[in-house]
Amino acid sequence: MRLIDRYLLRQLLGPTLLATLALTAVALLSQSLSALDVIINQRQSAGVFLKITLLAMPQLINMVLPLALFVAALVALNRLQSEQELVVCFAGGMSRWRVIAPPLRLAVILALLALVLNLFIQPAAYRELRETLFDVRTDLAATLVREGEFTEPAPGLTVYAQSVDSRGRMGNLFIHVAESDGAATTYTADQGRMATRGGTPVLVMSRGSTQEFSATGVLNYLTFDEYIFDLGPLVASEELVHYKPSDRYLHELFFPDLEQDWERRNRLDMLAEGHARLATPLYNIAFMAMALAAILGGGYDRMGYGRRIAWAGAAAAVTRILGFVVQAASEASAWLNVLQYAVPLLAIGLALRGLFRQKVTRFIDIRKRRPKPVVAAEGGA
């Protein structure tokens, strides 16, 4: 019996891994296309793009895991039933619980994996992702200068560069600073580059000139081989990284700091996110139970199980959509969080009820293989 259990588990594990990799690759491609904005608009490196894409993977895997398990279970169970291998198991004396134990065991293992992803890996990855996006958004080199464009990174400051290479070196640089008292200073330089002096970001300009027009109407003109333009006032900001509900750990979602205005106003959203972290792993078990009900919930059919598989797919889609609807509704009313657990548990109960309602088939269809009796003709020619 243990040998048969391991065989059934292997037949399910392979398609599950392949389906998970395929669906994750599709989701990752969609995520990477949206992340291209980081490279195009913010002029970030390919390493930053890859980091952002990989940090989004825990949530992507968690989303596609139930669907991958459902598809893999249907493919593997349909093949086992069509080739009458499951019928052989029943004919050998295995109970229905014993036959469905390996698939359910695999579903429980994946549910526990999804729970670990939800509680620990996803918040850690999303916190790092949020900090990376914050650094990209506040990257002074990316926001200060755009090639061939006049930009105003701060009030009274206008910057232009004719060209910016891959190393951040700027050509034909123009900077205009207008003061509140009417004074203005214009800097022009053949080249410029970002640097840090004493922990403060600066712009190092080479081979240029300054034209300073004072508030009293005096014009001063100066040429230089190298000039240091202080960028410290541009980065003096009190803005901090803000973590969304998807970035927070479970204890932060269930026990928010009500002294903070944002957490007090979004308390229901955080509570709904916390219950969703605990409830969504149950969909792995629910989808496996639906796949088992689709294949084993009816009699053996030599014509295939296309209709039953279609009904099971529709039921799985409705169940998951209903789960999303309930999660969204829970953000307005706390008591609806109970339904986040009720939806997958009800799906599991209905699927198992349909699975055990059908009697076990304990025979093998060998009529096609049985040779017809040959009757010898009496007498001779």
**pLDDT tens, residue by residue, 207-217:** 999 999 888 88
Residue 18 binned pLDDT confidence (cut-offs 50, 70, 90): very high
How far, in Å, are 52, 105, 113, 125, 131 from residue 313 at the CA level? 33, 21, 23, 32, 39
Chain centroid offset of residue 13 CA: 22
More confident residue, 304 or 178: 178
- How many whole angstroms separate alpha carbon 275 and alpha carbon 132? 27
Judge contact between 161 and 147, C-beta under 8 A. yes
Percent of the chain at pLDDT exceeding 70: 85
Which of 136-145, 248-257, 314-323, 338-347 has the weakest average pLDDT?
136-145
Q: Angle formed by the axes of helices 282-296 and 306-330, to 10°?
A: 160
pLDDT higher than 50, residue 100: yes
- Tens digit of pLDDT for each residue in 179-196? 888 889 999 999 998 887
- How many whole angstroms separate alpha carbon 100 and alpha carbon 355? 10
- Tens digit of pLDDT for each residue in 270-308? 999 999 999 999 999 999 999 999 998 876 666 667 889
Judge contact between 75 and 15, C-beta under 8 A. yes
Q: Which residues contact 150 (CB under 8 A, 6 or more apart)?
A: 158, 159, 160
Which of 28-37, 174-183, 327-336 has the weakest average pLDDT?
28-37
- How many whole angstroms separate alpha carbon 185 and alpha carbon 162? 19
Residues comprising the chain, all counted: 381
Q: For residue 41, what pLDDT is reported?
A: 63
More confident residue, 73 or 32: 73
Edge-first strand listing for the sheet containing 157-164: 151-154, 157-164, 170-178, 184-197, 200-213, 219-230
pLDDT higher than 50, residue 369: no
pLDDT higher than 90, residue 121: yes
- How many whole angstroms separate alpha carbon 21 and alpha carbon 40? 28
Q: Which amino acid, residue 43?
A: R
Q: For residue 373, what pLDDT is reported?
A: 52
Q: For residue 82, what pLDDT is reported?
A: 84
More confident residue, 49 or 59: 59
Chain centroid offset of residue 104 CA: 25
Other Cβ atoms closer than 10 A to 194: 18
pLDDT higher than 60, residue 178: yes
- How many whole angstroms separate alpha carbon 270 and alpha carbon 275? 9
Q: For residue 368, what pLDDT is reported?
A: 45
